[in-house]
Amino acid sequence: MKNTIVPGLAGVVADRTTISTVGKTGLGLSYRGYSIEDLTREADFEEVAYLLLYGELPVKSELDAFRKRLTPLRSLPARLRNILEQVPAEAHPMDVLRTGCSALGTMEPETSAAEQLQCVERLLATLPGMLLYWHHYHTSGKRIDTVSDEERLACHFLNLLHGKSPSKEACNAVNVSFIIYAEHEFNASTFSARVTTSTRTDYHSAITAAIGTLKGPLHGGANEEAMKLIDRFQTPDEAEKEILRMLDRKERIMGFGHRVYKKQPDPRSDIIKDWSRRIAEDTGHELLYRVSERIEEVVLREKGLFANVDFYSASLYHMCGIPTAMFTPLFVFARAAGWSAHIMEQRATGRLIRPSAEYIGPEPRKFVPIEKR
């Protein structure tokens, strides 16, 4: 019987997981049984990270202890700061995080699986500092302190970026974005982390592989491309005319469509859209929001494609004063929790991931010595 070839492995069930459900009828998007709607409405990102890593939502004492552990872990080793200063100013921020994660793995290596949660918590705490230490050093020459008094990761990031405590609305909005980006089953970067982990390599190697995978514009980089598109237009009417021309030219509109959500909206999109609207009203960016909304209407009407989570997260981050090149790194800050949960789950199975391929190359050929070719 001939094997069935599935390009891109679309719909192929590669393994079992207890971590999340994606696109399942009656279940929607859920993390360890909790719906994304409930989590974004009721929880902080730290609670969700704890849920993904430890399997249950924390009680208050556990959450307090988790936050208390993370706060001092935000400090960067001196050798890591030196490396970040050597990374070129023109480097992409995703390359900065990939380099920072790999370097941290050499300075604070995971010597056994028993240390995995310590490595996870250390990385969750340091990722924002890695990016913003590099950013401030190369934009203003400042060597910033990467430890802040902000308990929530979203507020900590905004504090380091802007040098002051963020507004409550901005902090809440970024917190929600971290929750919806934290986990999404066997997406490309998570699967990359699991494949890497299946070889029994170390934690930092698996996360480095995942960061490299997420950098691609067909995965995490889509929100950057969506913002570049939105930022081109001054009015909703101008946006509609150009989007129609782009569709006629069969150009790809970034931030629309999803491998899983083909016949249904991305459940994360409406959540982040609502926060984008709220931040627009709070910051006076209503026009930017209306442009985004018009683009969404045109693409849905003309192509039947729903906006995915990246589309409205782009305008949300922009309105919070976050540079476009940092959009995908924020994805990393959140998804590191999901990646880590999958790394631990993959380690528990212990099976090497090694699929097969159907060969379609040349038939057997006789080797010809170089002097006779």
- The residue assigned the tokens 């918590």 is 121
Nearest CA to 312 among 258, 271, 357, 260? 271
Q: In this structure, are residues 171 and 9 in contact, taking their beta carbons and an 8 Å threshold?
A: no
**Long-range contact set of residues 4-12: C-beta below 8 Å, sequence gap at least 24:** 5/358, 8/259, 10/259
Task: Indicate which residue of 219, 231, 274, 282 is catalytic.
Answer: 219
Q: In this structure, are residues 74 and 156 in contact, taking their beta carbons and an 8 Å threshold?
A: yes
Task: Indicate which residue of 135, 310, 318, 342 is catalytic.
Answer: 310
Q: Which residues pair with 312 in a beta bridge?
A: none
Instruction: Give the CA radius of gyration of the chain.
Output: 22
Q: What is the DSSP string of 293-316?
A: HHHHHHHHHHH-PPB-HHHHHHHH
Strand arrangement, sheet containing 20-24: 20-24, 28-31, 34-35
Cα–Cα distance measured from residue 227 to residue 319, given in angstroms and rounded to the nearest whole number:
11
Residue 342 known to be catalytic: no
- E strands, 174-314, where? none
Q: In this structure, are residues 279 and 320 in contact, taking their beta carbons and an 8 Å threshold?
A: yes
Q: What are phi and psi of 201, to 5 degrees?
A: -80, -175
Cα–Cα distance measured from residue 213 to residue 187, given in angstroms and rounded to the nearest whole number:
10
- The residue assigned the tokens 């993370």 is 70
- The residue assigned the tokens 């986990």 is 183
Task: Indicate which residue of 156, 184, 258, 342 is catalytic.
Answer: 258
Residue 258 known to be catalytic: yes
The set of catalytic residues is 219, 258, 310
